[in-house]
Amino acid sequence: MTQTTTSAPLIDPARLAALDWTDMPKLLGPLEELLDDLVSSPTWLNDAFDHVLRTPALLNQCERLQELDRVVLVSDKNSDVRVRLHLFTGSDFDRPHNHRWSFGSRLLHGSYQHYLFGDYEELDTETRIGTPALVREEKAGSGYLIRHTMVHTVASPPGTTSLIVRGPAEKDRFVVMNRNTGEAWWQYGQKAEKPEDQAKRRLGAERVEEIRQLLISQGAIK
pLDDT of amino acid 92: 59
Higher-confidence position of 157 and 180: 157
Does 73 have pLDDT greater than 50? yes
Does 7 have pLDDT greater than 80? no
Average pLDDT over residues 146-158: 94
Average pLDDT over residues 161-175: 96
Domain map of the chain by residue range? 13-218
Alpha carbon distances (Å) from 149 to 16, 70, 99, 116, 207: 21, 21, 7, 11, 32
Q: Name the β-bridge partners of 137.
A: 113
Query: 122: pLDDT confidence band, cut at 50, 70 and 90?
Result: very high
Average pLDDT over residues 168-189: 91
One DSSP character per residue, 182-222 reads: --EEEEE-GGGS-HHHHHHHB-HHHHHHHHHHHHHHHTS--
Query: 192: pLDDT confidence band, cut at 50, 70 and 90?
Result: low
Query: 182: pLDDT confidence band, cut at 50, 70 and 90?
Result: confident
pLDDT of amino acid 215: 97
Q: What's the chain's average pLDDT?
A: 91
Query: 199: pLDDT confidence band, cut at 50, 70 and 90?
Result: confident
Q: Which of 12-21, 37-46, 78-87, 90-99 has the lowest mean pLDDT?
A: 90-99
Instruction: Say which CATH topology domain 13-218 has.
Output: Jelly Rolls (2.60.120)
Higher-confidence position of 94 and 59: 59
pLDDT of amino acid 176: 94
Average pLDDT over residues 111-126: 94
pLDDT of amino acid 75: 94
